[in-house]
């Protein structure tokens, strides 16, 4: 679905935020007459995609790349990565993921060991920082780590010419998050908490419950066999206290 089509559906079918000739109006006319300007809807659509990808791993990319530097074991990965499926060096050698506890137990001299030639390669994640073992030496400098990973959208929506990144069949369901944001706007004419929460419920029915940030970080750092437990999201960025285990791994 085109961004322009999505906005037309929102304005005409749900928000009743139009005026005669609005589709061909100038930006100045739109900003003057719309209750929800295009720029606001672009922000809401951007967040709708991000929220959808929080709940479901829609987007996958091969070969996010990191170039190794002599003496540097730690590298910041792309902040939009949510789960790493595989890491290789120079596209051929597998690099094994380890938890922090495993790493410290198995490699007590990890702070000083250098040189990858002939060594089994390992990596550990702390937040969005990847630490590789052993530390690259002069021979290793310039080698490339390739990261195959799931991620949230890489680009924001800023115009009707932009493209949605999640699969086409889920585009229309993004409307529910946009409506939640629109009716949460602190404006006397637009604010309607009950209506906003109704649309949030529809979004959660379409994409699943919100996965808290702590769980997403653990997903990067811990063993891949750990299990994500979604958490009910009620519009207040809080976990539901009726489920004390929500957001933790089993």
159 falls within a domain:
no
| Same domain, yes or no: 11 and 35 | yes
| Same domain, yes or no: 9 and 31 | yes
d(CA 48, CA 165): 11
| Same domain, yes or no: 138 and 197 | no
| Same domain, yes or no: 84 and 65 | yes
Which pLDDT score is estimated for 26?
86
Which pLDDT score is estimated for 136?
97
97 falls within a domain:
yes
Number of domains forming the structure of the chain: 2
CB atoms under 10 Å from CB of 127, counted, come to 11
Which pLDDT score is estimated for 61?
96
| Same domain, yes or no: 67 and 144 | yes
32 falls within a domain:
yes
| Same domain, yes or no: 70 and 46 | no
236 falls within a domain:
no
Q: What is the mean pLDDT of residues 87-95?
A: 93
Which pLDDT score is estimated for 222?
79
| Same domain, yes or no: 107 and 170 | no
Contacts of 33 (CB under 8 A, 6+ apart): 19, 22, 25
123 falls within a domain:
yes
167-182 pLDDT, tens digit per residue, is: 999 999 999 999 999 9
| Same domain, yes or no: 51 and 70 | no
Region of residue 207 (left: phi > 0; alpha: psi -120 to 50; beta: else):
alpha
138-177 pLDDT, tens digit per residue, is: 999 999 999 999 999 999 999 999 999 999 999 999 999 9
32-55 pLDDT, tens digit per residue, is: 899 999 999 999 999 999 999 999
Strands 81-89 and 122-126: what pairing? unpaired
pLDDT-derived band at 91, boundaries 50, 70, 90: confident
Strands 81-89 and 74-76: what pairing? unpaired
The SS3 call for residue 67 is strand
Q: Is residue 21 over pLDDT 80?
A: yes
| Same domain, yes or no: 146 and 170 | no
Residues 189, 1, 8, 31, Cα dihedral to 10°? 60
| Same domain, yes or no: 69 and 136 | yes
| Same domain, yes or no: 52 and 176 | yes
215 falls within a domain:
no
pLDDT-derived band at 234, boundaries 50, 70, 90: low
Of 38 and 224, the structure prediction assigns the larger pLDDT to 38
52-66 pLDDT, tens digit per residue, is: 999 999 999 998 999
| Same domain, yes or no: 34 and 64 | no
18 falls within a domain:
yes
The SS3 call for residue 151 is strand
Task: Tell me which residue range forms the domain holding 134.
Answer: 59-151
Q: Is residue 71 over pLDDT 80?
A: yes
Contact between 121 and 135 (Cβ < 8 Å): no
127 falls within a domain:
yes
d(CA 153, CA 231): 21
């Amino acid at each position: 679905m085109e961004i322009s089509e999505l906005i037309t559906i929102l304005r005409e079918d749900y928000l009743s935020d139009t005026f005669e000739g609005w589709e061909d109006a100038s930006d100045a006319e739109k900003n003057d007459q719309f209750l929800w300007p295009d720029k606001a809807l672009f922000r809401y659509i951007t967040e709708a995609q991000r929220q959808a990808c929080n709940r479901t791993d829609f987007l996958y990319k091969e070969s996010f790349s990191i170039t190794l530097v002599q003496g540097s074991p730690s590298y910041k990965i792309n902040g939009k990565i949510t789960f790493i499926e595989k890491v290789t060096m120079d596209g051929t050698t597998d690099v094994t993921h380890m938890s922090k506890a495993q790493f410290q137990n198995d490699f007590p001299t990890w702070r000083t060991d250098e040189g990858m030639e002939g060594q089994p390669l390992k990596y550990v994640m702390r937040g969005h920082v990847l630490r590789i073992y052993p530390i690259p030496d002069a021979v290793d400098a310039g080698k490339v780590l390739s990261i195959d990973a799931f991620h949230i959208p890489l680009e924001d929506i800023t115009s009707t010419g932009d493209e949605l990144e999640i699969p086409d069949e889920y585009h229309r369901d993004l409307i529910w998050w946009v409506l939640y944001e629109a009716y949460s706007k602190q404006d006397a004419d637009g604010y309607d908490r009950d209506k906003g929460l109704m649309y949030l419920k529809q979004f959660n029915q379409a994409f699943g419950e919100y996965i808290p940030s702590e769980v997403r970080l653990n997903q990067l750092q811990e063993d891949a066999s750990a299990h994500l437990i979604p958490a009910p999201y009620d519009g207040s960025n809080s976990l539901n206290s009726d489920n004390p285990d929500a957001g933790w791994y089993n």
